[in-house]
Amino acid sequence: MRMTAVGAGLVLLVALAGCGQDLKTENAQLKAQVTTLQKENVALKGEGTSLRADAEAMKKQLAELTKEKQGLEEQVKALQATIAAKPSAKPPQKPKKMSMP
């Protein structure tokens, strides 16, 4: 009976030792995965910052272009008003026929 208990204990120790190695391997893989994910996270944060800066620059450019467009529209209206205010040119008169005596 004592021999059976010792045998069962040895089998249990061998099984646990095998599981321990599997756990160490899995732990190493998980650590590598965490490192990779941390690097990706840093890269994505940088990309997010860059995209936010690009968006701000585009908003500023849009505001400038909108202001420029409004100025041009005002110029067009002013020119149209100037053209409308000028007296229209009279069509050229036909030359009179000269009668021959």
The domain spans of the chain are 7-80
| Residue-wise pLDDT tens digits, 3-55 | 777 667 666 666 666 677 888 999 999 999 999 999 999 999 999 999 999 99
Q: Tokens 């409308």 map to which residue?
A: 84
CA–CA dist 44, 51 (Å, integer):
10
**Which token pair is 59?**
């908003």
Per-residue pLDDT at 68: 98
pTM given for the model:
0.52
CA–CA dist 17, 51 (Å, integer):
51
| Residue-wise pLDDT tens digits, 53-76 | 999 999 999 999 999 999 999 999
Round the average pLDDT of the chain to a whole number and report it: 86
